[in-house]
Amino acid sequence: MRKMLAAVSRVLLGAAQKPVAAGEASRVLVASRNFANDATFEIKKCDLHRLEEGPPETTVLTREDGLRYYRMMQTVRRMELKADQLYKQKIIRGFCHLCDGQEACCVGLEAGINPTDHLITAYRAHGFTFTRGLTVREILAELTGRRGGCAKGKGGSMHMYAKNFYGGNGIVGAQVPLGAGIALACKYNGKDEVCLTLYGDGAANQGQIFEAYNMAALWKLPCIFICENNRYGMGTSVERAAASTDYYKRGDFIPGLRVDGMDILCVREATKFAAAHCRAGKGPILMELQTYRYHGHSMSDPGVSYRTREEIQEVRSKSDPIMLLTDRMVNNDLASVEELKEIDVEVRKEIEDAAQFATADPEPPLEELGYHIYSSDPPFEVRGANQWIKFKSIS
Amino acid sequence: MDEELERDEKVFLLGEEVAQYDGAYKVSRGLWKKYGDKRIIDTPISEMGFAGIAVGAAMAGLRPICEFMTFNFSMQAIDQVINSAAKTYYMSAGLQPVPIVFRGPNGASAGVAAQHSQCFAAWYGHCPGLKVVSPWNSEDAKGLIKSAIRDNNPVVMLENELMYGVAFELPEAAQSKDFLVPIGKAKIERPGTHITVVSHSRPVGHCLEAATVLSKEGIECEVINMRTIRPMDIETIEASVMKTNHLVTVEGGWPQFGVGAEISARIMEGPAFNYLDAPAVRVTGADVPMPYAKILEDNSVPQVKDIIFAIKKALNI
């Protein structure tokens, strides 16, 4: 049936005069085709630490959700690749840590929580900034340091904020106690909200993380500690950095699970499981997401001096998160290759428009250099490079 | 703190021994009994961790008071104070305020030696995004802590252990539940005509003692209590210097890159410079890690005699 439809669509496309008509034609064909509403998938069992049971090993993916996840992951992927391009053109400067390869983490985590829950992460944050609700436009414009950026150009790559998203933090590990504090506020306010507190395999060896584990467990804070293990802390592989690479066990007295971070359904189910644990008042829980970054640590790191191109290629061909979702959806009648390609076209356009804006938007006005020192205060003067240069500071 | 805890349920206190022990220096005595575990929280010995937790709670909309048993231990947590608290409102272009108070005893005590005697006024005063206050007497302490708690910005309150035990008459106005001392405004504790003496925290008392002694010799000192380190009220100091033509600064901290150094630099840049009849003089702690033996410790902090000597030098007497 599918082959026949594909053949018919090819004929129609070939016959069409205008590209719009072709699109319409294929869309008409697609709309008239019956997709499955949903499909059930088996997902990998998670390794468990101090847990009797883990997340379910099967899950249902609806067509609607699948298309949404696909679009989001593709948007993050394309956005990061565009950032790579802009950086090489020197339109983005300074630090730029890309997360292509890790899309199942940011999209899967968001799928497992509510918008009223909270999330904090470190500096590899562009994907989360998007999944937490900001537009590609304001993210790219922040990377290029323009006034249309989500932080008006004041923050840059590592300091983007949104509602219930606390950045974007530059100091490795510092975001983890912050996340436990946000969880404390969740418990204090009594609204059953949870805080997802992310850190990498490199940060996992920071002492302040263990301080946060201790207090979160003592006070039963609704904090989901999440180690995004992409196997390398900058140029140091996990084997060279950690005496124990079982990051999901490093919380010791905190129950943990190790999750396939390349499978968005696995991430989603694990997140729902973890959130339920916290909302039930059982205290913190730890998730290790095993994932991979295609880029180096940052744009200054080619990423091949400490790992082989073969390794990168192997992950791309066998475990790419977008590919895994695509295969599942197409093979189970949840979507067609054509319609996913259409989404690609729309995503590319969105990214292109955003990049245009991010390149053309002017830099913040110099007069605003002194703004936002203090909140809720009357205006005052801020000193510039010498005593005669003064900037006005308003809240 | 009691009044502010009662007034706003988002306010809470955390730190080592603040709850069941009633506070290492009894500052929070009775609060845990009155407000319970939710609002008065004993922490493990994890400064970096609990300071970060406090900052996170502030980001999420609560109004924490984070106590450091002394500010010496804040060095463990200083990244959270500066990078997570002070800079965030600016980095987020005004999206993310951090309404937190960091408080505790600062500076020299008595016989506690080098690792427990450092003054952090210059270190915290250096950083944009922070407010830094330094009370001397009871009125200062009460009014400043209330202002700090109500302020939507990160405020560092540098208290003084030796001053905890000193009693002051609290004026009628200061007894009100809404009595506030504004942050960023210095107070002239004693008006004078011959010389401006500027100080903060415990040394303010020493300056007033010196002023009393010198008054008998016909020298009238104008003693200014800074109350706030950042944002500094340089205008009050300038107006005073323009009147007296002489300046002595007094602080407990080390001399290099200190509060007095900043005041001197700013006086040079402003209108008061042309009114100086002599260079500004600084009285500070000795430029050494604090020694233990009493004779050494006594001579490592500014004493009344050192202030008198400096005033006379400035006046060329």
Residue A293 tokens read as 């970054």
Is B90 in the A-facing interface, judged by CB distances under 8 Å? yes
Quick one: closest CA in A to B270, which residue? A387
Is B59 in the A-facing interface, judged by CB distances under 8 Å? yes
Lowest mean pLDDT among A1-5, B27-31, B245-249: A1-5
Q: What pLDDT does A184 receive?
A: 98
- All residues of chain A having their beta carbon less than 8 Å from the beta carbon of residue B272 are none
In one-letter notation, the amino acid at residue A39 is A
CB atoms B52 and A178 under 8 Å: yes
Residue B57 tokens read as 């709670």
Q: How far is B317 from chain A (nearest CA, A)?
A: 34
CB atoms B90 and A372 under 8 Å: yes
3-state SS class at A217 = helix
> What phi and psi, each to the nearest 5 degrees, are found at residue B121?
-60, -45
Yes or no: say if A182 and B56 are a contact pair by the CB < 8 Å rule.
yes
Q: What pLDDT does A7 receive?
A: 53
ipTM of the predicted structure?
Answer: 0.96
Write the CB contacts of B198 (distance below 8 Å, at least 6 apart in sequence). B186, B224, B226, B237, B240, B247, B248, B249, B250, B263
Where are the strands (E) in B213-314, listed by range? 221-225, 228-230, 247-250, 281-283
pTM score of the predicted model? 0.94
- If one counts every other C-beta atom within 10 angstroms of the C-beta of residue B134, the result is 31
CB atoms B269 and A387 under 8 Å: yes
CB atoms B80 and A177 under 8 Å: yes
Give catalytic residue positions of B. 47, 116
Query: What's the distance, Cα to Cα, between the start and end of chain B in Å?
Result: 46
Q: Express each pLDDT in B23-67 by its tens digit.
A: 999 999 999 999 999 999 999 999 999 999 999 999 999 999 999
Distance of alpha carbon A262 from alpha carbon A229, whole angstroms:
11
Yes or no: say if A258 and A46 are a contact pair by the CB < 8 Å rule.
yes
Whether A115 has a pLDDT exceeding 50, the answer reads yes
Yes or no: say if B259 and B229 are a contact pair by the CB < 8 Å rule.
yes
Is A212 in the B-facing interface, judged by CB distances under 8 Å? yes
Taking residues B138-154, report their average pLDDT.
98
Q: Express each pLDDT in A128-167 by its tens digit.
A: 999 999 999 999 999 999 999 999 999 999 999 999 999 9
| Residue among B190, B212, B196, B176 at smallest CA distance from B267 | B196
Q: What pLDDT does B2 receive?
A: 98
Is B231 in the A-facing interface, judged by CB distances under 8 Å? yes
Is B165 in the A-facing interface, judged by CB distances under 8 Å? no
Q: Number of residue pairs across A and B with CB atoms under 8 Å? A: 144
* Of residues A176, A215, A387, nearest to B44 (C-beta): A215
Is B79 in the A-facing interface, judged by CB distances under 8 Å? yes
Residue B269 to residues A66, A342, B57, B98, B232: CA-CA distances in angstroms? 65, 65, 40, 32, 14
| Residue among B128, B109, B279 at smallest CA distance from B201 | B109
Render A96-116 in DSSP notation, one character per residue: ----TT-HHHHHHHHHHS-TT
CB atoms B92 and A151 under 8 Å: yes
Q: What pLDDT does A31 receive?
A: 54
In one-letter notation, the amino acid at residue B103 is R
Quick one: closest CA in A to B55, which residue? A178
Count of CA atoms in the C-beta half-sphere (13 A) of A7 = 4
Q: How far is B294 from chain A (nearest CA, A)?
A: 37
Contact residues, A window 90-149, toward B, CB-based 8 Å cutoff: 118, 120
Whether A29 has a pLDDT exceeding 70, the answer reads no
Contact residues, A window 152-191, toward B, CB-based 8 Å cutoff: 152-155, 159, 161, 166-167, 169-171, 174, 176-186, 188-189
- DSSP classification of residue A351: H
In one-letter notation, the amino acid at residue B80 is Q
Q: What pLDDT does A27 receive?
A: 53
Is A23 in the B-facing interface, judged by CB distances under 8 Å? no
What are the residue ranges of helices labelled H in A89-174?
Answer: 103-112, 126-131, 136-143
For residue A81, count CB atoms less than 10 angstroms from its CB and return exposed for 0-12, middle for 13-18, buried for 19 or more.
middle
Q: How confident is the model at residue A23 (pLDDT cuts 50, 70, 90)?
A: very low
Q: How far is A142 from chain B (nearest CA, A)?
A: 11
Q: What pLDDT does A33 receive?
A: 72
Q: Which of B14, B66, B96 to mutate to test the interface with A (most CBs of A within 10 A)?
A: B96
Q: Express each pLDDT in B210-227 by its tens digit.
A: 999 999 999 999 999 999
- All residues of chain B having their beta carbon less than 8 Å from the beta carbon of residue A155 are 91-93
Whether A1 has a pLDDT exceeding 90, the answer reads no
Q: What pLDDT does A18 receive?
A: 44
Q: How far is B313 from chain A (nearest CA, A)?
A: 29
Computed over every residue of chain B, the mean pLDDT equals 98
- All residues of chain B having their beta carbon less than 8 Å from the beta carbon of residue A159 are 91-92
Q: Which of A116, A152, A184, A209 to mutate to test the interface with B (most CBs of B within 10 A)?
A: A184
CB atoms A177 and B51 under 8 Å: yes
Is B91 in the A-facing interface, judged by CB distances under 8 Å? yes
Please count the residues of chain B. Answer: 317
CB atoms A184 and B56 under 8 Å: yes
Distance of alpha carbon B58 from alpha carbon A381, whole angstroms:
26
Is A286 in the B-facing interface, judged by CB distances under 8 Å? no
Q: What pLDDT does B109 receive?
A: 96
Is B66 in the A-facing interface, judged by CB distances under 8 Å? no
Whether B293 has a pLDDT exceeding 70, the answer reads yes
| Residue among B85, B32, B75, B93 at smallest CA distance from B55 | B85
Q: How far is A84 from chain B (nearest CA, A)?
A: 23
